[in-house]
Amino acid sequence: MKCHECRYLMFDYIDKKLSEPVIGEMEKHMEECPSCAERMAKLNRQQEEEKPSGLFWYLLMPSGGFKRFFFVGAIFTFILVLALISFQLKKPLFRLF
């Protein structure tokens, strides 16, 4: 395998989209080629940093499915209504009565 092939395939390698023989060839190439190995290490590090983490992303990621989406929506609406009610009690926004 040549360097440009190896670099072209790196993103798929990180996403684990490659077949066993191609992965084997890439790993063999990276053992022999320090510049590709270093590039791969750098890419891996970047990937780790970009991976969203924490409760905020856990709740908002679309991969959570619609159940979670509606759950979060309900909580947000509840908080918004509470905020509006407390504001209304302090300084009336609307004339309800």
Name the residues that contact Zn ion, by CB under 5 A. Answer: 3, 33, 36
We find the least distance from the C-beta atom of residue 39 to Zn ion, in angstroms, to be 8
Nearer to Zn ion by Cβ, of 23 and 33: the residue is 33
Nearer to Zn ion by Cβ, of 2 and 84: the residue is 2
We find the least distance from the C-beta atom of residue 50 to Zn ion, in angstroms, to be 24
Residue in the structure block whose two tokens are 């191609």: 22
We find the least distance from the C-beta atom of residue 32 to Zn ion, in angstroms, to be 8
We find the least distance from the C-beta atom of residue 36 to Zn ion, in angstroms, to be 3
C-beta of residue 29 within 8 angstroms of C-beta of residue 36? yes
Longest Cα separation, the chain: 80
Looking at the chain, list the stretches that DSSP marks H as alpha helix, in order from N- to C-terminal side.
Answer: 3-14, 20-32, 34-50, 55-60, 65-90
Nearer to Zn ion by Cβ, of 41 and 83: the residue is 41
Instruction: Report in angstroms the alpha-carbon separations of 28 from 32, 33, 36.
Output: 7, 9, 11
Nearer to Zn ion by Cβ, of 39 and 68: the residue is 39
